[in-house]
């Protein structure tokens, strides 16, 4: 197994190395790949120091799998070049997610849609992954009519520049290169990604389009408000679900408890419910505050939390790679 991580020096790239190690992913040759300014430097992995190489050299090496976390423009240019030499690319950017010819995969939900010919596989947005993992079993059993989503997303989801802004603001130091138009320390910004012509942000529309694609249902009505919060640990989501069939709350709790990758934490008498701090550095998606919405027929409220850098990015990508190995396609 020859595996490349493209964007190895970034926030997700580092977590990718951690996840690969923790999950004992068998690698015979590790190729750390980054931009030209990092080429020649070293990164630790597997108890050794590895020299970072550039994209051209990585393509020439013909890795079996290349996990990309280097931004959409890099993926659009370079993923096809890797695919041409036989590499299977798992891309963490938004570049290929809505391409009808590319699969958008959360392995627990739709991994079985993959075939050996899929050479560029899209990893969904972090906020989408954790939500659809909880919604998929509900959609299969009851059908989903409508979703009203409010997200509370960690600044780590914006990358190193946002982390630097937060840290500088916290320590009363000047912010040379701000990631946001307003302070993030002790603040909340209803502004994730850029604003679009419909006055929604790009992040909000990702929740709309990606959810429909992963659940294979374009008829689900979805509206979302995505908020950036001063949290280092994970993303939280308040999700209001209108189901097509009636349900009991206990039935929903049991269904979610039996879903791989989900931990239900919903014991209000003991103040047990998911928090991003408790989810940090964990691969599971946590669900709590499960309750009926009495304002509409067949309404359900969920509170969904996960580490955005792990299941929301690195872990899901590695799980896709594990699936490919299991199928002996790489």
Which whole-number Å values give the CA distances from 330 to 27, 31, 66, 87, 321, in the listed order? 12, 16, 11, 8, 9
Residue 154: in which H helix or E strand, if any?
A: strand 144-154
Q: Give phi and psi for 123, each to the nearest 5.
A: -90, 125
What is the CB-side half-sphere exposure of residue 90 using CA atoms within 13 A? 31
- Where are the alpha helices (H) located in 23-159, listed in sequence order? 55-61, 72-84, 107-110, 126-141
Distance CA 223, CA 151 (A): 11
CB count within 10 Å of CB 165 equals 21
235 among known catalytic residues = yes
Closest CA to 256 of 99, 77, 130, 123: 130
| Nearest by Cα to 266 from 217, 295, 303 | 303
The encoded tokens of residue 248 equal: 């009991």
From residue 87, how far is each of 3, 72, 207 by CA, in Å? 9, 18, 29
Angstrom distance (rounded) from CA 235 to CA 127:
7
The active-site residue, picked from 50, 139, 192, 235, is 235
Q: Which of 50, 126, 139, 192 is catalytic?
A: 126
Q: Tell me if residue 191 is catalytic.
A: no
Say if strands 48-51 and 221-229 run parallel, antiparallel, or are unpaired. Answer: unpaired
Catalytic residues: 126, 235
């Amino acid at each position: 197994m020859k595996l490349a991580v493209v964007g190895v020096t970034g926030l997700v790239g580092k977590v990718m190395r951690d996840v690969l190690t923790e999950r004992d992913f068998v690698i015979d040759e590790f190729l750390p790949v980054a931009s030209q300014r990092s080429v020649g430097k070293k990164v630790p992995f597997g108890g050794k120091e590895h020299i970072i190489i550039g994209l051209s050299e990585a393509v020439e090496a013909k890795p079996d799998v290349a996990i990309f976390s280097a931004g959409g423009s890099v993926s659009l240019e370079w993923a096809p070049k890797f695919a041409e030499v036989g590499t299977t690319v798992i891309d963490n950017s938004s570049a290929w997610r809505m391409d009808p010819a590319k699969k958008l995969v959360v392995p627990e939900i739709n991994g079985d849609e993959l075939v050996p010919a899929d050479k560029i596989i899209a990893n969904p947005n972090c906020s989408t992954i954790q939500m659809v993992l909880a919604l998929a079993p509900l959609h299969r059993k009851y059908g989903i009519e409508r979703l009203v989503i409010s997200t509370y997303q960690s600044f780590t989801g914006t990358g190193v520049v946002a982390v630097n802004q937060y840290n500088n603001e916290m320590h009363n130091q000047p912010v040379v290169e701000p990631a946001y138009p307003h302070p993030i320390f002790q603040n909340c910004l209803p502004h994730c990604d850029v604003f679009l012509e419909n006055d929604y942000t790009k992040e909000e529309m990702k929740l709309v389009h990606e959810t429909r694609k992963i659940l294979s249902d374009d008829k689900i009505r979805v509206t979302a408000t995505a908020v950036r919060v001063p949290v280092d640990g994970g993303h939280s989501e308040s999700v209001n679900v209108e189901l097509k069939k009636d349900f009991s709350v206990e039935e929903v709790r049991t269904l979610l408890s039996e879903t791989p990758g989900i931990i239900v934490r919903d014991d209000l008498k003991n103040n047990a419910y998911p928090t991003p701090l408790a989810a940090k550095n964990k691969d599971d998606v946590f669900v709590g505050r499960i309750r009926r919405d009495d304002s509409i027929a067949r309404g359900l409220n969920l509170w969904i939390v996960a580490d955005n850098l792990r299941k929301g990015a690195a872990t899901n990508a590695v799980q896709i790679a594990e699936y490919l190995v299991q199928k002996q396609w790489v």
